[in-house]
Amino acid sequence: MSASTAPSSTAIRPKLSELFRAFVIISLSGFGGALPWARRMIVEQRNWMTAEEFNEAFALSQFLPGPNVVNFSVVFGSRFGGAPGAAVALAGLMGPPLIIVTILAFLYSRYGDVEALGRILTGITAAATGLLIAVVAKMATPLFRKRWDWAPLIAIAAFVGVAIMQWPLPLVFAVLAPISVACAWMTR
Protein backbone atom coordinates (compact mmCIF):
# COMPACT_ATOMS: atom_id res chain seq x y z
CA MET A 1 0.00 0.00 0.00
CA SER A 2 2.87 2.35 -0.69
CA ALA A 3 0.78 4.34 -3.16
CA SER A 4 -1.59 5.57 -0.47
CA THR A 5 1.21 7.33 1.36
CA ALA A 6 2.47 9.21 -1.68
CA PRO A 7 2.54 12.93 -0.89
CA SER A 8 0.21 15.13 -2.87
CA SER A 9 2.82 17.88 -2.77
CA THR A 10 4.26 16.47 -5.97
CA ALA A 11 1.19 17.70 -7.79
CA ILE A 12 0.74 21.17 -9.23
CA ARG A 13 -0.97 23.53 -6.83
CA PRO A 14 -3.88 25.31 -8.51
CA LYS A 15 -4.67 28.97 -7.93
CA LEU A 16 -8.09 29.88 -6.52
CA SER A 17 -9.28 31.22 -9.87
CA GLU A 18 -8.19 27.99 -11.60
CA LEU A 19 -9.94 25.94 -8.93
CA PHE A 20 -13.15 27.88 -9.45
CA ARG A 21 -13.00 27.56 -13.22
CA ALA A 22 -12.26 23.84 -13.06
CA PHE A 23 -15.32 23.17 -10.87
CA VAL A 24 -17.55 25.33 -13.08
CA ILE A 25 -16.51 23.19 -16.06
CA ILE A 26 -16.98 19.94 -14.10
CA SER A 27 -20.42 21.13 -13.07
CA LEU A 28 -21.54 22.27 -16.53
CA SER A 29 -20.37 19.02 -18.16
CA GLY A 30 -21.82 16.86 -15.42
CA PHE A 31 -25.01 15.54 -16.99
CA GLY A 32 -26.18 12.48 -15.09
CA GLY A 33 -23.48 12.70 -12.43
CA ALA A 34 -20.34 14.79 -12.02
CA LEU A 35 -17.88 12.10 -10.84
CA PRO A 36 -16.54 11.10 -14.30
CA TRP A 37 -16.03 14.76 -15.18
CA ALA A 38 -14.30 15.53 -11.89
CA ARG A 39 -11.85 12.70 -12.50
CA ARG A 40 -11.30 13.73 -16.11
CA MET A 41 -10.49 17.30 -15.10
CA ILE A 42 -8.43 16.62 -11.99
CA VAL A 43 -6.48 13.49 -12.94
CA GLU A 44 -6.33 13.49 -16.72
CA GLN A 45 -6.32 17.13 -17.76
CA ARG A 46 -4.79 19.15 -14.93
CA ASN A 47 -2.69 16.50 -13.15
CA TRP A 48 -3.71 17.93 -9.80
CA MET A 49 -3.96 14.43 -8.31
CA THR A 50 -2.71 10.97 -9.18
CA ALA A 51 -5.22 8.19 -9.85
CA GLU A 52 -4.62 6.84 -6.33
CA GLU A 53 -5.01 10.22 -4.64
CA PHE A 54 -8.27 10.80 -6.49
CA ASN A 55 -9.61 7.40 -5.40
CA GLU A 56 -8.76 8.19 -1.78
CA ALA A 57 -10.23 11.69 -1.79
CA PHE A 58 -13.40 10.46 -3.46
CA ALA A 59 -13.72 7.48 -1.10
CA LEU A 60 -13.51 9.87 1.84
CA SER A 61 -16.16 12.14 0.29
CA GLN A 62 -18.41 9.19 -0.36
CA PHE A 63 -18.44 8.07 3.26
CA LEU A 64 -19.22 11.48 4.63
CA PRO A 65 -22.95 12.11 4.76
CA GLY A 66 -24.47 14.26 2.03
CA PRO A 67 -23.98 14.60 -1.70
CA ASN A 68 -20.70 12.92 -2.76
CA VAL A 69 -19.49 15.34 -5.38
CA VAL A 70 -20.37 18.32 -3.21
CA ASN A 71 -18.31 16.80 -0.39
CA PHE A 72 -15.54 16.09 -2.85
CA SER A 73 -15.39 19.73 -3.94
CA VAL A 74 -14.92 20.73 -0.29
CA VAL A 75 -12.31 18.02 0.43
CA PHE A 76 -10.41 18.82 -2.74
CA GLY A 77 -10.68 22.59 -2.40
CA SER A 78 -9.58 22.63 1.24
CA ARG A 79 -6.59 20.42 0.49
CA PHE A 80 -5.32 22.83 -2.13
CA GLY A 81 -6.49 26.16 -0.79
CA GLY A 82 -7.76 25.86 2.78
CA ALA A 83 -11.13 27.41 3.61
CA PRO A 84 -11.07 29.81 0.61
CA GLY A 85 -10.24 26.88 -1.66
CA ALA A 86 -13.17 24.87 -0.32
CA ALA A 87 -15.55 27.82 -0.71
CA VAL A 88 -14.38 28.54 -4.24
CA ALA A 89 -14.65 24.91 -5.40
CA LEU A 90 -18.11 24.59 -3.86
CA ALA A 91 -19.29 27.85 -5.44
CA GLY A 92 -17.98 26.71 -8.82
CA LEU A 93 -19.79 23.39 -8.51
CA MET A 94 -23.14 24.65 -7.22
CA GLY A 95 -23.43 28.14 -8.75
CA PRO A 96 -24.07 27.44 -12.44
CA PRO A 97 -26.55 24.55 -12.00
CA LEU A 98 -28.40 26.59 -9.37
CA ILE A 99 -29.03 29.30 -11.94
CA ILE A 100 -29.82 26.87 -14.76
CA VAL A 101 -32.22 24.75 -12.73
CA THR A 102 -34.04 27.82 -11.44
CA ILE A 103 -34.57 29.01 -15.01
CA LEU A 104 -35.75 25.52 -15.99
CA ALA A 105 -38.14 25.47 -13.04
CA PHE A 106 -39.55 28.80 -14.13
CA LEU A 107 -39.96 27.62 -17.74
CA TYR A 108 -41.54 24.40 -16.50
CA SER A 109 -44.07 26.27 -14.39
CA ARG A 110 -44.96 28.30 -17.52
CA TYR A 111 -44.89 25.74 -20.31
CA GLY A 112 -44.33 22.40 -18.61
CA ASP A 113 -43.76 19.84 -21.37
CA VAL A 114 -41.97 17.38 -19.16
CA GLU A 115 -42.82 14.47 -21.40
CA ALA A 116 -40.24 15.66 -23.95
CA LEU A 117 -37.79 16.20 -21.11
CA GLY A 118 -38.30 12.62 -20.01
CA ARG A 119 -37.43 11.34 -23.49
CA ILE A 120 -34.27 13.47 -23.67
CA LEU A 121 -33.42 12.14 -20.24
CA THR A 122 -33.60 8.53 -21.47
CA GLY A 123 -30.83 9.24 -23.97
CA ILE A 124 -28.70 11.25 -21.57
CA THR A 125 -29.00 8.57 -18.88
CA ALA A 126 -27.85 5.89 -21.33
CA ALA A 127 -24.72 7.93 -22.10
CA ALA A 128 -24.15 8.87 -18.44
CA THR A 129 -24.29 5.18 -17.53
CA GLY A 130 -21.57 4.40 -20.07
CA LEU A 131 -19.40 7.17 -18.69
CA LEU A 132 -19.86 5.87 -15.16
CA ILE A 133 -18.81 2.38 -16.29
CA ALA A 134 -15.70 3.91 -17.88
CA VAL A 135 -14.78 5.78 -14.72
CA VAL A 136 -15.27 2.63 -12.60
CA ALA A 137 -12.85 0.80 -14.91
CA LYS A 138 -10.33 3.62 -14.62
CA MET A 139 -10.61 3.89 -10.85
CA ALA A 140 -10.26 0.12 -10.55
CA THR A 141 -7.02 0.00 -12.53
CA PRO A 142 -4.65 1.00 -9.69
CA LEU A 143 -6.50 -1.37 -7.35
CA PHE A 144 -6.34 -4.43 -9.56
CA ARG A 145 -2.90 -3.80 -11.02
CA LYS A 146 -1.19 -4.60 -7.74
CA ARG A 147 -0.30 -8.14 -6.84
CA TRP A 148 -3.24 -10.25 -5.75
CA ASP A 149 -4.48 -9.01 -2.38
CA TRP A 150 -7.59 -8.29 -0.36
CA ALA A 151 -8.66 -4.99 -1.96
CA PRO A 152 -10.21 -6.37 -5.17
CA LEU A 153 -12.11 -8.96 -3.12
CA ILE A 154 -13.63 -6.22 -0.96
CA ALA A 155 -14.59 -4.20 -4.04
CA ILE A 156 -16.25 -7.23 -5.62
CA ALA A 157 -18.06 -8.07 -2.38
CA ALA A 158 -19.41 -4.50 -2.12
CA PHE A 159 -20.58 -4.66 -5.73
CA VAL A 160 -22.29 -8.03 -5.34
CA GLY A 161 -23.89 -7.02 -2.03
CA VAL A 162 -25.52 -3.86 -3.37
CA ALA A 163 -26.05 -4.62 -7.08
CA ILE A 164 -26.84 -8.35 -7.12
CA MET A 165 -28.10 -9.18 -3.63
CA GLN A 166 -29.68 -5.72 -3.29
CA TRP A 167 -28.83 -5.43 0.37
CA PRO A 168 -29.20 -1.95 1.88
CA LEU A 169 -26.15 0.20 1.24
CA PRO A 170 -25.58 1.22 4.90
CA LEU A 171 -25.60 -2.46 5.89
CA VAL A 172 -23.07 -3.44 3.23
CA PHE A 173 -20.91 -0.54 4.28
CA ALA A 174 -21.17 -1.30 8.00
CA VAL A 175 -20.03 -4.89 7.39
CA LEU A 176 -17.37 -4.39 4.74
CA ALA A 177 -15.68 -1.16 5.86
CA PRO A 178 -14.36 -2.55 9.18
CA ILE A 179 -13.14 -5.73 7.45
CA SER A 180 -11.46 -3.70 4.76
CA VAL A 181 -9.81 -1.31 7.23
CA ALA A 182 -8.61 -4.28 9.29
CA CYS A 183 -7.07 -5.84 6.18
CA ALA A 184 -5.36 -2.56 5.37
CA TRP A 185 -4.09 -2.29 8.95
CA MET A 186 -2.59 -5.78 8.92
CA THR A 187 -1.09 -5.84 5.46
CA ARG A 188 0.63 -2.51 5.67
Partner 1 sequence: MNDNPLIALAGYFALLSLFAVGGANAAIPEMHRIAVEVMHWMSDRQFADSFAISQVSPGPNIIIVTLIGYHVAGLAGAAVATAAMCGPTCVLAFLVARTWDRFKEARWRIAIQAGLVPVSLGLIAASAFVLARSADHNIYAAAITAITAIVGFATRINPLWIFAVGGALGLSGWL
Our finding on whether 6 is near partner 1 (CB under 8 A) is: no
For 14, residues 6+ apart whose C-beta sits below 8 A from its C-beta are: 22, 46, 48, 80, 81
Check if the beta carbon of residue 150 is closer than 8 Å to that of residue 187.
yes
For 177, residues 6+ apart whose C-beta sits below 8 A from its C-beta are: 63
Tell me how far, at minimum, the Cβ of 84 lies from partner 1, in Å. Answer: 11
Site string for partner 1, 78-117 (x = CB under 8 A): xx---x--x---x--xx-xxx-xxx-xx--x---x-x-xx
Q: How many residues bind partner 1 (CB under 8 A)?
A: 102
One of 19, 20, 30, 42 touching partner 1 (CB under 8 A): 30
**Pick 17 or 113: Cβ nearer partner 1:** 113
Residues numbered 124-183 forming contacts with partner 1, rule: CB under 8 A: 124-140, 143, 150-152, 154-159, 161-163, 169-170, 172-173, 176-177, 180-183
At CA 22, angle to CA 36 and CA 60, rounded to 5? 55
Check if the beta carbon of residue 48 is closer than 8 Å to that of residue 11.
yes
One of 1, 12, 13, 145 touching partner 1 (CB under 8 A): 1
Half-sphere exposure of 180 (CA within 13 A, CB side): 15
One of 10, 44, 84, 171 touching partner 1 (CB under 8 A): 44
Tell me how far, at minimum, the Cβ of 55 lies from partner 1, in Å. Answer: 5
What is d(CA 25, CA 20) in angstroms, rounded to the nearest whole number? Answer: 9
Other C-beta atoms closer than 10 Å to the C-beta of 40 total: 18
Our finding on whether 22 is near partner 1 (CB under 8 A) is: no
Our finding on whether 42 is near partner 1 (CB under 8 A) is: no
What is d(CA 141, CA 5) in angstroms, rounded to the nearest whole number? Answer: 18
Tell me how far, at minimum, the Cβ of 18 lies from partner 1, in Å. Answer: 19
Our finding on whether 74 is near partner 1 (CB under 8 A) is: yes
Tell me how far, at minimum, the Cβ of 71 lies from partner 1, in Å. Answer: 4
